[in-house]
Structure 1
Amino acid sequence: MYLAGIDIGTTSITVILTKPEDGSVVRMVSKANDAELQRMYVWERAQNADRIVELVAELIEECRDEWTHVHAIGISCQMHGILYVNDEGNAVGPLLTWQDGRGDLLMESGKNYASTLHEWTGYPVHSGFGLVTHFYMTKQGEIPNGAVKLCTIGDYAAMKLCGKAAPLMDCSNAASIGLFSLQKRQFDKEQVSEAGMDASFLPLLADGRQQTVGRTADGKIVCCAIGDNQASFLGAVPSFKGTLLVNVGTGSQVSVYSSDYVVCPSLETRPFVDGGYLLVGASLSGGKSYELLEQFYRDVCRAFGEIDDRRLYEVMNRLAEEARRDSAPPLRVGTQFFGTRDQPMSTGFVEGIRADNFNPRQLTAAFLHGILDELDRYAQQLPPAILGSLTRVAASGNGIRYNDTMQRLVKSRWLLPMKFGKVKEEAAFGAAIHAAVGSGLYSRYADALQSMQGKDTEEE
């Protein structure tokens, strides 16, 4: 018997097959997510939802020899974005992703859609949140013809696997699209309506008694899709309490578990799969900032001659390590090159430039420090009792997994041992763990973690 975990990311899609008794991976396959649609406007970010479903089907077909032994399927998906479906459960428009910028466009009042919805409802929402996008679509009269419900791409994939006509949404995804009461674990339909939106577009929410969407044609249980942040936490940590998850991918995040509802400045409180919460500091920086520096070096090198593009990151990592031996005062880089959730127009900076530190070594190291500086500012906002109880760092994301210098900086920053989860694709693995509990193989997430994560996490 196997469990399947499907992670639908912005740039790639992964399917993992794992054994429920020990978490060992039987098969793992991935494809690039090539569903991005051509932009008519610079602020648009959309993907073809049916193409994503096709890619999932192609990956399942690659696993056909093992697929007959799959008992249950869990799905992790990129958060915040939405698509519209008709009464037959078919997409009637594109997936408008978390990167979509409609919410930053200005209304007649001179304020943008995201800030206006926040002022009207009191809920913290940002451009890219599904109900901010829905707010824009409502005001502009752009909701597709025939649309009756909205959902996330994970909900849509689950519907298609089961042949369902209506989406069922987990609280982790529901909270990510906005106007969601964390304490009641329900959409605030009254505020949705008062903002001029039709609350009937909101999907049915899953609860503790209903964690499955249905079954596939060949009888496999399909669990409700969960957010990729929650799935990555499940797939990376050895236990919920005492762990600081540091994720450095395209963006970067710090996440900590709390069994109680807590509100912290600058942190998002997100519902977790066990009824608890994750306290999350989400930066728009991370691997994207390091990629920006790589592109800068690439442009400089090309201006002076031919280069081997494949080795740039390798050279950058070496330069950052060499900077540790420099005696010159370090540069300081603010990596808010893509803005922040609260201040989308904020910019990055480089300061402290001197004749003895203006070199590629110090600049590269300062970018890595800058990424962690932003994450540490979030971590310091945690309640003292939670911050003081941390005993380990769980690391995830390719931005840290393949950068030894970043790993050393993480350990020295928080003075805690650091571990990677046993599986590199943490979100897909976390989706499989979710399927283990959602399908009833385990009654508690703690039991599933103990068996499937076990003692095989690798300490670095």
Structure 2
Amino acid sequence: MSSYFLGIDVGSTSITSIIIDTKKRKVIESSTVNNLAEVTKLKDKKLGRSEWNMDKIFSGVVETIKTTIDKSKISPEAIGITGQQQGLQLFNKDNEGVGNFISWQDQRCKERFNSKTYIEIMAEMGGATISENQLPFFQNTGCPLVTGYTAPLLFWLKNNNELDEKLTACTAPEFIASKLTDTTPVTDPTDALSWGVFNLNKNDWNYDLIKSLNLKRSSFLEIKNSCSIIGKVTKFISEKTNLKEGTPVSIASGDHQCSFAGTVNNYYDTVAINVGTGGQTSVFHEKIIPRSWLELRPFIQKGYLLAGVGTVGGRSFRVLKNFVQRLIFDMTDINLESDLIYEKLINLANKSLENSSGLNVSALFTGSRENYKAKGKINKITQENFFIENITLALINSMAFELHKAYIESLKCGINKKNILVGSGNGLKKNILLQNALSSKFGLSINIGKNNEEAAIGAALCSGVAVNKYSDIFNASKSFVN
């Protein structure tokens, strides 16, 4: 067996394919394209909708695979897939996509119907636990009810007479895996958890809950084990990508879990911070434990990640970038590139490190798991400190505070103190001030992985496990991650 494996990450911002060399323990080739498949109408964007064309997403996947194969001249042993593990794509009995893909960023379930949001109605129908300021959750599901998760989106479609009940739901990576192999989409526990109606104790759908929500059992995918082979690359895909026909494809797994597997060498003594479009603080635990306002997500093959998710991330910094970008355009008709604005903001904030401005920012622009009603704030403004560099630095410090708070909460849940801090994701790798702020908060030096595209690495490692290159994902991470 060769040492080459292909990993695909179907992200919100970009789509990436990589080839890893398990002997050299590094990524040897990669290709990334921007995910330009969003088709949300302007009037729907104002309502918080987020819809995408799955055919365009798949075209992006095909393009990155072909580029990676053509550049490397390598035929991988197997292919692993990951990506945004929430959202909704409907498909028919012929495995053809029907309608747009609704992404995890979609806010339609916060809309009101007869004075209550769809999340609140769903919670009441299913007998969810409801605490003040926290999102409702169903028992044993490991996560709260969140707009953008798959089951709430199904519920919204059902209650707006937009759901053809002959169709089945899946997420983007699950659909992409089926397209590569011409098989019916399936899911694994790492993805199924983020639908919102997965029973952690039974490792299966909570069908009684699904019935109470007036959703049909047939709308939900078959659940299979992580790191299992779901099919092989078809002749059609081989001709489009130059992949070898018959190459095994492993089941899609969640990007959060794959990122952990592609970043962490020592699962038991590490707290992992990932900052991409979203952000997570994660620790591994072998058994189900009380989770407080955190999420308890099945890990690949066994164990769980106790994680603070969805509070802050790259999109938090993007709020400030968008403000600056629009202000400059409205004042000067100059549309500065986003990367330039990010770079300038960080450079300016770095200069303000020398002086404590006293200005304080809360980065909770979309609320948090602890308090979904929370809003972003700027406090302690004076005429001496109201400058963009101080706002930027305070925003970055707020992001570090929220990511660290999740770790502190995990300790309260019974997790042992960790001695290793690992960081990943472009939102962290490109922001030295955030790295420094996290090191200060945790009291640990932050280790930033040498390889980029950690989620795709994790997916590639999953495919290695699937074809018995590794005995399990634990061994795969230990063997590959430096």
Give me the TM-score of the superposition, normalised by structure 2. 0.88
Q: Residue in 1 aligned with 2:233?
A: 216
Matched, 1:82 2:81: no
Change (3 A) 1:192 1:314: same
> 1:317 corresponds to which residue?
346
Structure 1 CA distance for aligned equivalents of residues 424 and 362 of structure 2: 22
Q: Does the 8 A contact of 1:283 with 1:374 survive in 2?
A: no
Output the CA distance in 2 between the equivalents of 1:195 and 1:266: 23
For 1:270, what is the secondary structure of its paired residue? Answer: strand
Q: How many Å separate the matches in 1 of 2:225 and 2:328?
A: 55
1:172 to 183, 190, 193: 190
- Equivalent in the alignment of 1:272: 299
The question of whether the paired residues in 1 share the 8 Å contact of 2:210 and 2:217 is answered with yes
Q: Per-residue deviation at 1:102?
A: 2.3
**Structure 1 residue 163 displacement after superposition:** 1.0
Matching of residue 424 in structure 1 with residue 448 in structure 2 = no
- Residues 361-400 of structure 1 aligned to structure 2 (within 5 Å): 361-384=389-412, 388-400=416-428
In structure 1, the partner of 2:34 is 32
CA gap 1:101/1:294 in 2 versus in 1, 3 angstroms:
closer
User: Does residue 437 of structure 1 match 2:465?
Assistant: yes
C-alpha contact 1:235 1:421 (8 A) present in aligned 2: no
Residue 98, structure 1, aligned to residue 126, structure 2 = no
Distance in 2 between residues matched to 1:131 and 1:194, nearest whole Å? 12
Deviation at 1:273, TM superposition (A): 0.3
Letter in 1 for 2:434: M
CA distance in 2, matches of 1:403, 1:288: 13
* 3-state SS of 1:92 partner: strand
* Number of aligned residues: 449
Q: Which deviates more from structure 2 when the two are superposed, residues 359-368 or residues 194-203?
A: 359-368
How far apart, in 2, do the equivalents of 1:184 and 1:167 lie? 21
Give the counterpart letter for 1:9 in structure 2.
Answer: G
Deviation at 1:353, TM superposition (A): 2.0
Distance 1:98 1:305, change over 3 A: closer
Deviations 1:254-298 (A, max 9, x none): 111111112221100000003100011113432222222223334
Q: Give the conservation status (yes or no) of the 8 Å contact 1:256–1:279.
A: yes
Q: Provide, for residues 167-208 of structure 1, a one-character-per-residue CA deviation record: whole Å limited to 9, x for no partner.
A: 210111101011111121111011101211111111110126
Aligned pair in 2 of structure 1 residues 116, 361: CA closer, same or farther (>3 Å)? same
Whole-angstrom distance in 2 between the partners of 1:320 and 1:73: 42
Distance 1:137 1:304, change over 3 A: closer
More deviation, 274-283/119-128: 119-128
TM superposition shift of 1:245: 1.1
Q: CA deviation at 1:443?
A: 0.6
Q: Aligned residue for 2:225?
A: 207
Match of 2:208 among 153, 167, 190: 190
Report matched runs for 1:214-253 at 5 Å: 214-217=231-234, 218-253=245-280
8 Å contact kept, 2:225–2:301? no
Residue 197 to residue 301, structure 1, CA distance change in 2 (3 Å) = closer
RMSD: 2.1
Partner of 2:59: 54
Residue 312 of structure 1 and its aligned partner are, at CA, apart by 2.8
1:171 alignment partner AA: P
Give the direction of change, closer, same or farther, for the CA distance of 1:349–1:384 in structure 2 (3 Å limit).
closer
What CA distance in whole angstroms lies between the structure 1 residues aligned with 2:149 and 2:291? 20
Q: Cα 1:412–1:237, aligned 2, differ >3 Å: closer, same or farther?
A: same
Q: Give the whole-Å Cα distance in 2 for the aligned partners of 1:233 and 1:255.
A: 8
Give 3-state SS (helix, strand or coil) of 1:213's partner: strand
- Stretch moving more, 213-222 or 358-367: 358-367
Match of 1:115 among 110, 120, 136: 120
- 1:419 deviates by 0.9
Task: Kindly state the Cα deviation for residue 305 of structure 1 after the two structures are TM-superposed.
Answer: 4.9
CA distance in 2, matches of 1:288, 1:414: 22
For 2:150 and 2:413, locate their aligned partners in 1 and report how far apart those are by CA, in whole Å.
Answer: 33
Query: Deviations 1:29-67 (Å, cap 9, x if unpaired)?
Result: 011111111325223211111221222112222133446
| TM-score relative to the length of structure 1 | 0.92
Corresponding position of 2:359: 331
Per the alignment, residue 149 of structure 2 pairs with: 129
Distance 1:384 1:146 in 2: 45
The CA distance in 1 between the partners of 2:461 and 2:85, in whole Å, is: 19
Residue matched to 2:368: 340
Instruction: Spell out, residue by residue over 1:375-404, the C-alpha distance to the aligned partner (whole angstroms, 9 max, x if none).
Output: 222221113586543111111122211121
Counterparts of 2:223 and 2:7 in 1: how far apart (Å)?
Answer: 21
The code of the aligned residue for 2:231 comes to: G
Counterpart AA for 1:127 = T
- How far apart are 1:420 and its partner, in Å? 1.6
What residue in structure 2 maps to residue 448 of structure 1? Answer: 476
Distance 1:364 1:352 in 2: 14
Name the aligned partner's letter for residue 260 of structure 2: F
- SS of equivalent to 1:154: helix
Does the aligned pair in 2 maintain the 1:168–1:205 contact within 8 Å?
yes
Contact 1:60 1:67 (C-alpha < 8 Å) held by counterparts: no
| Paired residues of 1:92 and 1:145 also in contact (CA < 8 A) | no
What is residue 293 of structure 1 aligned with on the other side?
Answer: 320
Q: Is the 8 A contact 1:102 1:127 kept in 2?
A: yes
Judge which range, 62-71 or 312-321, deviates more. Answer: 62-71
Contact 2:187 2:222 in 1 (8 A): yes
Question: C-alpha displacement at 1:68, in angstroms?
Answer: 5.4
SS in 2 for 1:36: coil
Q: Deviations over 1:417-446 (max 9, x none)?
A: 211223111111111111111221101223
Q: Is the 8 A contact 2:275 2:427 kept in 1?
A: yes
Which residue does the alignment assign to 1:23? 25
The letter of the residue matching 1:309 is: L
The answer (yes or no) to whether the contact 1:84–1:144 under 8 Å persists in 2 is no
Work out whether residues 330 and 357 of structure 1, in 8 Å CA contact, stay in contact via their aligned partners in 2: yes
